[in-house]
């Protein structure tokens, strides 16, 4: 159970970043939206750090 939990976290990280990159590639103009960038950056960092902390613990 514990091992599959780690696998699930890694998969969710990959899926999350894949979606973020896909959206940016499809809509490069979105990067000019400062609010979007700040929100995405904060969410991405929080999510990634949370997942990595849970992976290592």
pLDDT, tens only, 15-25 = 988 998 898 88
Instruction: For residue 4, give Cα distances in angstroms to 8, 9, 10, 17.
Output: 6, 9, 10, 20
Q: What is the pLDDT of residues 21-42, one digit of tens each?
A: 898 888 888 778 888 888 888 9
One-character DSSP codes across 11-46: HHHHHHHHHHHHHHHH-GGGGG-HHHHHHHHHHHHH
Angle at 19 between CA 24 and CA 28, to 5 degrees: 5
Backbone angles phi, psi at 49, to 5 degrees: -60, -45
Domain boundaries, the chain: 2-56
The pTM assigned to this predicted structure is 0.61
């Amino acid at each position: 159970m514990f091992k599959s939990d780690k696998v699930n976290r890694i998969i969710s990280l990959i899926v999350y970043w894949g979606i973020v990159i896909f959206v940016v590639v499809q809509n490069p103009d979105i990067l000019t939206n400062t609010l979007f960038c700040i929100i995405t950056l904060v969410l991405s960092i929080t999510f990634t750090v949370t997942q990595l902390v849970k992976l290592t613990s």
